[in-house]
């Protein structure tokens, strides 16, 4: 019995499905990265705790309570450059920044698991690692 060739419509569906799954696997997008991680110039607040409570609420990450988030206090253009000349490869689509950036790390306070969320914060200057897709940062991986 001779094998039949695959139907062209089936091939098209499989190609579209593979593309959709690949895009889904990438997770975040550049606009989402900016919303979640870029705050330049830094929003004024009394202290890091007030800053984190304000920013996590304002940026939509306090419903449900996100456990940890880092805000980078640099222009988005500088962070985009990490995906190019201002960064170096760190495996797969990850890039380490060449420069240090002012950051604020917001962590959910113990005992605060449901809204209203209560955060504690800490500021420092660190190199950072981001994941890049098509030359744009789409995921904040960690501090270095």
Catalytic positions are: 37, 139
Q: What is the DSSP string of the chain?
A: -PPPPPPHHHHHHHHHHHHHHHHHHH---HHHHHHHHB-SSPPP-SSHHHHHHHHHHHTT-BTTB-SEEEEE-S-HHHHHHTTTTTEEE-STTEEEESS-EEEEEEEEPTT--SSSP-EEEEEEEE-EEEEEETTEEEEEEEE-
Residue 9 exposed, middle or buried by CB count within 10 Å (0-12, 13-18, 19+)? exposed
Cβ atoms 103, 124 nearer than 8 A:
yes
């Amino acid at each position: 019995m001779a094998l039949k060739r695959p139907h062209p419509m089936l091939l098209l569906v499989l190609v579209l499905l593979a593309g959709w799954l690949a895009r889904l696997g990438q997770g975040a997008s550049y606009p989402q990265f900016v919303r979640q991680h870029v705050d330049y110039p830094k929003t004024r607040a009394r202290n890091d705790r007030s800053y984190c409570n304000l920013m996590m609420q304002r940026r939509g990450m306090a419903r449900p309570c996100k456990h940890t988030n880092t805000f980078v206090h640099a222009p988005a253009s500088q962070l985009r450059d990490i995906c190019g000349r201002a960064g170096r490869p760190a495996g797969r689509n990850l890039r380490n920044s060449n420069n240090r950036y002012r950051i604020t790390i917001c962590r959910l306070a113990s005992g605060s698991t449901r809204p209203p969320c209560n955060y504690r914060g800490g500021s420092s200057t660190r190199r950072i690692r981001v994941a890049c897709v098509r030359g744009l940062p789409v995921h904040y991986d960690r501090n270095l």
